[in-house]
Amino acid sequence: MLVHLQTLGCRLNEAELETWAQDFKRAGHGITAQPEAAQLIVLNSCAVTQDAARKSRQLIRRIHRDNPQAKLVVSGCYATLNQQQAEAEMGVDLVIGNQDKDKLVDLALSELNLTSMPAQATEPGEFSLFTRGRQRAFVKVQDGCRYRCTFCIVTVARGEEKSRPIEAIIEEINTLHQQGIAEVVLTGVHLGGYGSDQDCNLADLIQAILAQTDIPRIRLGSLEPWELTDSFFELFDNPRLMPHLHLPLQSGSDSVLRRMARRCKTQEFSEIINRLRRQIPHFNVTTDIIVGFPGETEQEWQESFDYIAATGFGHIHSFTYSRREGTKASSLPGQVNNSLKKQRSAALHRLAEEMKLKFYQDNLGREFSVLWEGYSEPCGEDRQRVFGYTPNYLKVGCIVSRNRSVENQLITARLTEAGQNWIAGELAE
């Protein structure tokens, strides 16, 4: 049987797809990148915003329309929060909530009468992510969140915190490395809360990975800033831990942060950023910002804008606030009108582009080890431009001969010219 896996939303959803792909392969089934060729399609849905829930519904309908013969399993946050609605969608054969995600493959095969074992069922050989055109792997280390930020529905959808054992994570990373993966990205709903249910913490996990694996690169997913210990900062002395963190700020105004129930004030956030930058020059910090949160006054918006500009970020994911049923923020007074939110969002977008270009320019002339992707663009008859990422997560493009393959290799490049979305470089050979 051929299985097609799709996802909407976060890196954690991506990591879960990787796990399911391994489990399907162990059961003797194949993974296909072509949904029209699949006999079973699994969708990992999203519901972080109302728009994400709408897109999940649309994707369910499109999948069924394009391949009505395939069995369709829907999981993820939309399926968990809107189970009856998901079950009622035409073409959906099975809905599996987040609480049963660890058993998704077994449930799908048994509930849909797909348990017959193919004659050649074996342990997976080539890892399934290669068939999806990826060079790095996302590794889920925990799920759930103990905090209740007033804008967030994900904590409701994902439930209580649950961490994977260190031994299981080590085993998965070693398997990935044996299969040719050079970089893993540790992900979780509340990554900084890893180990809260196991008498350990994220620093302990990273130390164990550094000691018990030889994977060249370890990268961290989105990480809340208020739980970074002294031992965590010391880990960056090891060059295998990539000097890039995505730390969601959400607002540069302390009064807005209080209404969001965020646990890190702007002064504390600045201390974290400054410590990282003192420790490692050109450390890349990226962030999330919500524009137009309920009650955001003109003064609060200006405070936030000025703080963001003074701090500087390598990249900003900006979100225009929209009401999400089931969150405390949806009932807060002072909802900001759409035209003002659009105006503020446009101003933040311009600032973000300026900061990104400045960070690009600050890195010019330096040499980095780059992990090269499989994607390339033709440049004339016998040349191609290949792309990859530096340790501090800058996208680099270099021109090489058409017949040369650098995919999934770590090769040093010198950064020469800043573009809009990537930096031109030259292979240092």
Give me the phi and psi of 424, to 5 degrees please: -75, 145
Q: In 10 A of CB 195, how many CB atoms?
A: 20
Give the per-residue pLDDT at 134: 67
* Beta-carbon-side half-sphere exposure of residue 170 (alpha carbons within 13 Å): 14
How high is the pLDDT of residue 115?
Answer: 54
- Answer yes or no: are the C-beta atoms of 197 and 162 closer than 8 Å: yes
What is residue 132's predicted lDDT score, i.e. its pLDDT? 46
Please give the average pLDDT of every successive group of 10 residues along the chain, which has 429 residues: 86 85 87 90 88 89 91 92 89 91 90 58 41 73 90 82 95 92 92 92 96 97 88 94 96 97 95 94 95 97 98 94 88 93 96 96 96 88 93 96 91 95 91
**Token couple for 352:** 């973000």
Interatomic CA distance for residues 53 and 278, integer angstroms: 41
Distance CA 263, CA 274 (A): 19
Long-range Cβ contact pairs of 416-422 (< 8 A, separation 24 or more): 416/364, 416/365, 417/364, 418/357, 418/360, 418/361, 418/364, 419/360, 420/353, 420/357, 421/395, 422/387, 422/394, 422/395, 422/396, 422/397
Q: What's the confidence (pLDDT) of residue 119?
A: 36
Distance (Å, rounded) from C-alpha 95 to C-alpha 390?
39
What SS3 state is found at 305?
helix
Cβ neighbors of 84 (< 8 A, separation 6 or more) are none
The length of the chain, given as a count of residues: 429
The set of residues, in sequence order, having a beta carbon less than 8 Å from that of 297 and lying 6+ positions away, is none
